[in-house]
Amino acid sequence: MLSQINSPADLAALSHEDLIELSAEIRGLLIEKVSKTGGHLGPNLGVVELTVAIHRVFESPKDVIVFDTGHQSYVHKMLTGRGGAFDTLRQRGGISGYPNRRESEHDVIENSHASTALSWGDGISRGFSLQGAKDRHVVVVVGDGALTGGMSWEALNNIAPEQKRNLVIVVNDNERSYSPTIGGVATYLSTLRVTSGYEKFLDWGKEVLHKTPVVGMPIYETLHGMKKGIKDIVAPQGMFEDLGLKYLGPIDGHDIAAMERALQQAKEYGAPILVHAITEKGKGHKPAVADEAEKFHAVGVIDPESGEPLAKSGTSWTKVFAQELVEIGKTRTDIVAITAAMLGPTGLDQFQAAYPERTIDVGIAEQHAVTSAAGLAFTGLHPVVAVYSTFLNRAFDQLLLDVALHKAGVTFVLDRSGVTGDDGPSHHGIWDLALTGIVPTMHVAAPRDGARLKELLREAVSINDAPSMVRFPKGAVQEDIPAFERRDGIDVLYRGESADVLMISVGAMAAIAVEAASSAYREGVGVTVIDPRWVKPLPESLVRMAERYKSVVVLEDGIRHAGIGSAISEMFRDAGVLIPLHSIGVPLEFIEHSKRGEILSDIGITAQNISRSVVEWSSTLKEEMQLPSDENADRKQPR
């Protein structure tokens, strides 16, 4: 049946029975396809009927439908003509795991970071209203923990009741984000789920009245007189209504007919309105709703029946970090772990299991996490804030002015730094080195392997008067790369026989750097590879070391613009050292989803390409040095 759905308009002709059959087919297709490609399985299994109902009532793309977080949009993609493309989900040249304007007119925003859609919805609906587009609606599906983010509440505070505009907010309440949603908002929604209890309470009063009239009458009158108080306790939708939002619900989000009725009411209301839908994350797939449902929020390649991973990988960087932090916690009782709704993905679930009282999950609220960490540091504790690199972007102001300015001893551990791959442009961790490079007093470490990750993590948490950061990439940790020697904290990984090129490798780029140096040696170019371990502040001995070489190459997996190569170049200029420097890194552009290896190859970060470039640069430099003095004087200094 899904193959006959080329646009949401095709849903109109389907009967209720057809819609139930279609929902089952969509759910089966999700399990089949996402098991092969990887992706966000649990969230999408939970919004099948909800999404069908939305597309039956509203007219996309005339009506704008946005999802928060965007990983809930797979069913939306299927209903907007992309059902046949799910073999390419998150693959090179295929469809994205998030809404994407380049894919379809039905996608308006690429929102892989949570808690943004209500602000988009506020702006779009205001725009329609100001321009007299009274027949256009905006539907914001918000859930999967997105209401724990402060930006959502900033938006709700500004969606005023007196503004007659067509804005429908659908709260997809599945009690979870990655893991069970926590905090005051989650508790509030939990209370809302029992709205029907109020009517049952009054029904009980009526039964008492009929059975024992003398005693029952005052009981019922008391109950009826306490109507407002009871309703505020059992169904406190008043908070939303106080913010200017009419409230409908709770409604079974898996009942298409019930959802259609509620959404039709909301559509006709003509002012901001909230529809509260109760759904089950992972519905229809037993492994995804089991005790370990968190694992099915986002999956790799798995067995579609059992949910067990099929692709075996080595020990991950995340696991090495997780185990070492637990070990540090045994002797450092001042260590406190903080995350933003990602205990499992960042490895802090292990620390929580060992030290539950010293583990804090703030929900999807990175800004709050960082400033709260500054407060913890003020009391003498040492917080370790573990997030994906891409999510540190959201808390830069707090890092700069709440942590660094106040000399707070907070350690940031950034998972998935550099090029990450499948999740697309917003998830690459390519900005962290440039961002933290402009933070005064910041200490930044980039381990090249598991042994250095353990070592540098311990060094980082020993810094108590300034922020520190340890960053590592996604995936399996590579084999340890021992150093020939350590000079002033700098590890020498490969020593060329001639002083042609000094290659400064940042973090996990070490294996590529060593391989490139070995290849260049076979072409007659001597390359020495070093790992500074700490890339901020840079070791002063780098200047003395570089002066012995004809040129310097910096290899990093962050953006070249304002990255480590830029910082080293500035360091050399300040020291009066004029030496050719080549920076190899990520170009300043948004990079679409693809495998990490494919992307690195695209941008030239492979051992073969780097080796060839180093040989060419060395050859050019030798030719320039052999020019007559008058010609040489006219040539520009190499970069």
Environment class of 490 (CB within 10 Å of its CB; exposed 0-12, middle 13-18, buried 19+): buried
Q: Rounded to whole angstroms, how far apart are CA atoms 584 and 217?
A: 83
Per-position DSSP letters for 290-344, written without gaps between them: STTGGGGSSB-SB-TTT--B-S----BHHHHHHHHHHHHHHH-TTEEEEESS-HH
| Confidence label for 441 from pLDDT (cuts 50, 70 and 90) | very high
Crossing angle of the two packed helices 196-211 and 227-234, in degrees rounded to 10: 140
So what's the pLDDT on residue 244?
A: 72
Domain assignment of residue 227, yes or no: no
Determine the length of the chain.
Answer: 639
On the question of pLDDT at 180 being above 90, the answer is no
Residue 197 has pLDDT above 90, yes or no: no
Q: Distance between CA 18 and CA 49 in Å, rounded?
A: 12
pLDDT number for residue 594: 87
Residue 370 is predicted with a pLDDT of 97
Portion of the chain with pLDDT greater than 90, in percent:
61
Q: How much is the pLDDT for 69?
A: 84
Indicate the range of 124-138, 146-160, 183-197 predicted with least confidence. 183-197
pLDDT tens by residue, 317-349: 999 999 999 999 999 999 999 999 899 999 999
Torsion of CA 621, 626, 630, 632, to 10 degrees: 0
Q: How far apart are CA 494 and CA 626, in angstroms?
A: 28
Catalytic residue among 176, 394, 448, 452: 394
The answer to whether the annotation marks 382 as part of a ligand binding site is no
Could you report the per-residue pLDDT of 24-40, keeping only the tens digit for each?
999 998 888 888 888 88
**Residue 517 among known ligand-binding residues:** no
The answer on 591 and 561 residing in a single domain is yes
17 is an active site residue = no
Given 280, 366, 459, 556, the catalytic residue: 366
State the helix-helix crossing angle for 450-461 and 317-331, rounded to 10 degrees: 40
Residues 457, 578 share a domain: no
Instruction: Looking at the structure, tell me whether residues 149 and 6 fall in a common domain.
Output: yes
Instruction: Please tell me whether residues 334 and 276 are part of one structural domain.
Output: no
Looking at the fold, whether 46 and 154 belong to one and the same domain comes out as yes
Strand-strand pairing, 411-415 and 382-388: parallel
CA-to-CA separations, 599 to 7, 297, 592, in angstroms, rounded: 33, 25, 9
Query: What letter would DSSP give residue 633?
Result: H
Q: Which tops the pLDDT comparison, 35 or 465?
A: 465
Binned at pLDDT 50, 70 and 90, residue 300 comes out as: low
Predicted confidence (pLDDT) at residue 113 exceeds the cutoff of 50:
yes
pLDDT of 249: 86
Same domain for 416 and 462, yes or no, is: yes
The answer to the question of residue 311 being in a domain is: no
Residue 448 has pLDDT above 60, yes or no: yes
Check which CATH number belongs to the domain holding 498 and give it. Answer: 3.40.50.920
Query: Which residue range forms the structural domain that includes residue 533?
Result: 490-634
Among 340, 552, 532, 528, which Cα is nearest to 433's? 532
Residue 282: what pLDDT?
76
Residue 576 lies in a domain: yes
Task: Give the model's confidence band at 311: pLDDT under 50 very low, under 70 low, under 90 confident, else very high.
Answer: low
Using alpha carbons only, what angle is made at residue 559 by residues 558 and 561, rounded to the nearest 5 degrees?
A: 140
Please tell me which residue, 484 or 183, carries the higher pLDDT value.
Answer: 484
432 labelled ligand-binding: no
In the predicted structure, residue 294 carries a pLDDT above the cut 60: no
pLDDT-derived band at 227, boundaries 50, 70, 90: very low
Q: For 469-523, write each residue's pLDDT tens digit.
A: 999 999 999 999 999 999 999 999 999 888 899 999 999 999 999 999 999 999 9
Determine, yes or no, domain membership for 617: yes
Residue 328 inside a domain? The answer is: yes
Residues 36 and 179 in one domain: yes
The values of phi and psi at residue 481, to 5°, are -115, 100
pLDDT at 513: 97
Q: Is 242 annotated as a binding residue?
A: no
Residue 405 has a pLDDT of: 97
CATH of residue 430's domain is 3.40.50.970
Does 285 carry a binding-site annotation? yes
The residue from 410, 443, 471 where one domain ends is 471
Q: Are residues 357 and 450 in the same domain?
A: yes
| Domain termination site, one of 296, 328, 343 | 296
112 has binding-site annotation: yes
Shared-domain flag, residues 384 and 514? no
In a domain, 232, yes or no: no
Average of per-residue pLDDT values in the chain? 86
pLDDT range class, residue 398, cuts 50, 70, 90: very high
Is residue 243 within 8 Å of residue 204, measured between CB atoms? no
Q: Is 71 annotated as a binding residue?
A: yes
Asked if residue 413 has pLDDT above 80, the reply is yes
Task: Confirm whether 50 is domain-assigned.
Answer: yes
Residues 6 or more apart whose CB falls under 8 angstroms from that of 238 comprise: 232
pLDDT of residue 310: 66
Active-site annotation holds for 639 = no
* Residue 179 predicted with pLDDT over 50: no
Output the pLDDT for position 235.
47
* pLDDT tens per residue across span 596-631: 999 999 999 999 999 999 999 988 887 777 655 444
Q: How confident is the model at residue 217 (pLDDT cuts 50, 70, 90)?
A: very low
Identify whether 281 is a catalytic site residue: yes
283 and 337 fall within a common domain: no
Residue 6 among known ligand-binding residues: no
For residues 452 and 511, state if they share a domain: no
Q: Is 366 annotated as a binding residue?
A: yes
User: What is the pLDDT, as a whole number, of residue 211?
Assistant: 52
Q: Is the pLDDT of residue 188 over 60?
A: no
The secondary structure of 1-61 as a DSSP string is -GGG-SSGGGGTT--HHHHHHHHHHHHHHHHHHHHHH-B-HHHHHTTHHHHHHHHHHS-TT
Share of the chain above pLDDT 70, in %: 82
Q: How many distinct structural domains can be found in the chain?
A: 3
Out of 281, 283, 295, 474, the active site residue is: 281
Q: What does the pLDDT read at residue 585?
A: 96
CA atoms of 318 and 458, how far apart (whole Å): 15
Tokens of 563: 């990255």
For the segment 41-62, the average pLDDT, to the nearest whole number, is 93
